[in-house]
Structure 1
Amino acid sequence: MRKKPGGVLGIVAVTAALALSLSGCRGDSGGQGGGGSASSPGITDSAITLGITTPLSGATAGPGKCTVAGVSAYFGAANAAGGVKFGDGKTRTVNIKSYDDAYDPQKSLANFQQMVSDNVFAATAGLGTPTNRAFRDAAISQKVPQVLVMTGDPLFSDRKQSPWQLGFVPIYQNEGGAFGKLLAKSGAQHKVAILSQNDDYGKGYVAGFKEAIQGASNISVVGEQTYEATDTSVDAQLTQLASSGADVFFNAMSITPLTIAALQKAQQIGWKPSWFLPSNTSSPTAILEPGGAAAYPGIYSVSFAKAPQSPAFAKDPDVVKFLDELKKYGNYPDMPAFPHCMWSYMVGATLEKAFQNMKEPTRDSFMTALRDIKDLKAPLMLEGTSVNTTVDGQPAVSSVVVQKYNGKGYATAENFG
């Protein structure tokens, strides 16, 4: 016998329908996506919003602006072509919101809190170890992805300690180790002086370098000094290190003005060793030329990106396309002075790959897809490098090529000297 609508079955049906309706809205500021799964904040059926907190003012504004320009260029072009097709079958435009932290950790944390208020899906590409660390705990607590950020801090690539994080650039130890291996392989006797930033950045570079030269009888460290990231001069440290007689200077420095001043000061006091500079402070036009780098027997750094300034890549299809899109969509009309423009463009390609593979419009699905990218040859990558996010403890890019400054750009350094 059929029950009347007001009976028990009718009540159950209405309750179930209400529950389904509420579950479709709960925690979803962006609508409902594929497969009936509730979307995470910051994503709808037609768009996704990403946030970047990075220095857009202050001493590190140059590379900071590049982190926004490169991602904006990549997705500006993708949006103009119709958008990005996601793994759930929806095609979405990718919107970028940028926030200035002036390389100040407190501002960075405030910016993250603003991102949450602005319903940003994920934070990405921002520059700096202290600034990214400032909101790491908050991002973990609120389960907001903080990924492909511009820091070599290994903590960001440790899945257990940082489940919602992933670094993009090689960890500091990888860069320092690459140079140490090249130096040890030379076979010649070398005395090394070290100046490093007194934080995890500097310590990571030095640790990687020392591990690589361990057991190399031809390499000796004859002097070590540190400086604070807030210092305005390292003249005293350079004078002390010059007296060591070192013919190689390992300068683990992240501050652009200090790097230029150090190059100039060493010349003034008559100390002209070969230099190693980190990838983020080795720009030919922004640092080496004003610093008078041509006065030294060799300036070495590491890279994984094609440099548009280099004659070797002037007509490279990747570089031509990148420069065009950087101007059109990245609001960056000049030749990039910092590698961060290229790095963040690669971040765009890596994010797109993750978007294409995420099956649901959720942060969980995104992180799963992001951590399953292997051997991606992103645009602008040098031969021998690739994006691989599958190795715990390593960032998206862990392979680097040691290069030597040739007066205009960099060329691969097969040997030291």
Structure 2
Amino acid sequence: NDDFGKDYVVGIKEIFGEKASSLIVAEESYETSEPSIDSHIVKLKGTGANVFVNISTPKFAAQAIKKIAELEWKPMHVMTDVSISIGAVMKPAGLQASEGVLSAGYLKDATDPQWKDDEGMKKFMAFVNKYMPGADVTDTNLVYGYAAAQTLVQTLKQCGDELTRENVMKQAASLKDFAPDTLIPGIKINTGSNDFAPIEQLKMMQFKGGKWDLFGDVISAETGG
């Protein structure tokens, strides 16, 4: 019950358009101060819905996955990229309980075994071990921050010796196919004079066998500038 959740709901309804009222059988919000959202999951199961769009933060996403498994409810379960950390969400919820969950994302997960031999993630882990020993890599903000820092470095490189505010802003709006080490392969940063959203691509994924299986083509997630 905050702007994060409300904005997602608005987006979903915009996509469904006139069909929203017939396709969405129930909406259930929770307060971040609640210790558990189990009662909300029980209520949603009672609606008979066969698709559950889970717009929650990591702690509550894990609770939802676990409770759904306990109730033997089997909807198509779709989560936002905010709550797809294997270490912070899927493991606490239970890897078996997490099987089949769907999402879409743009960042690699430092706790996902599929990236253990990835050159980009090796660089990321080397950075963490050198400058942030003991840091909790289940926190996706670390991976995000590393990508953001690399993007800033690229922007400054493009500035050359002209490090004025005007040129920094100009170069920040002139990034072309830049791929930081921690972005999922195929996801690239592009900006323009009228397009300041750096990432407008996502990759669909499904949780299987303890890791996220990527599938399909890179999809557009354009924000409109």
For 1:342, the equivalent position in structure 2 comes to 143
Q: How many residues align?
A: 215
Aligned to 1:206: 9
**TM-score, with length taken from structure 2:** 0.82
Q: Comparing both chains, which one has the higher relative contact order based on Cα–Cα distances under 8 Å and sequence gaps of 6 or more?
A: 1
In the alignment, the residues of structure 1 paired with residue 33 and residue 166 of structure 2 have an alpha-carbon distance, to the nearest angstrom, of 38
> Pairwise mapping of residues 3-402 of structure 1 onto structure 2 (< 5 A)?
198-214=1-17, 220-254=23-57, 256-295=58-97, 298-332=100-134, 336-358=137-159, 359-390=161-192, 392=194, 395-402=197-204
User: Partner amino acid for 1:357?
Assistant: Q
**Residue type matched to 1:348 in 2?**
A
Structure 1 segments unaligned to the other structure (5+ residues): 1-197
Aligned to 1:407: 209
Are the structure 2 counterparts of residues 296 and 379 from structure 1 closer, same or farther at C-alpha, using a change threshold of 3 Å?
closer
Secondary structure of 1:294's match? coil
User: TM-score, normalization: structure 1?
Assistant: 0.47
Q: How far has the Cα of 1:246 moved from its partner? A: 1.5
Q: What displacement does 1:232 show? A: 2.8
Unaligned runs of 5+ in 2: 218-225
| Distance of aligned partners of 1:414 and 1:225 in 2 relative to their CA distance in 1, 3 Å threshold | same
Structure 2 letter corresponding to 1:323: M
Percent pairwise identity: 26
- How far does the alpha carbon of each residue in 1:267-324 deviate from its partner, in whole angstroms, 9 at most, with x for none? 3333232321111211112111111252355211222123343343221211212211
Amino acid at match of 1:199: D
* Per-residue Cα deviation, 1:346-376 (whole angstroms, up to 9, x for no partner): 1111100121233544444322322221221
Report the alpha carbon displacement of residue 251 of structure 1 after superposing the two structures with TM. 0.9
Query: Larger deviation: 290-299 or 312-321?
Result: 290-299
> Residue 366 of structure 1 aligns to a residue in which SS?
helix
Q: Report if the CA contact (8 A) 2:190-2:199 is conserved.
A: yes
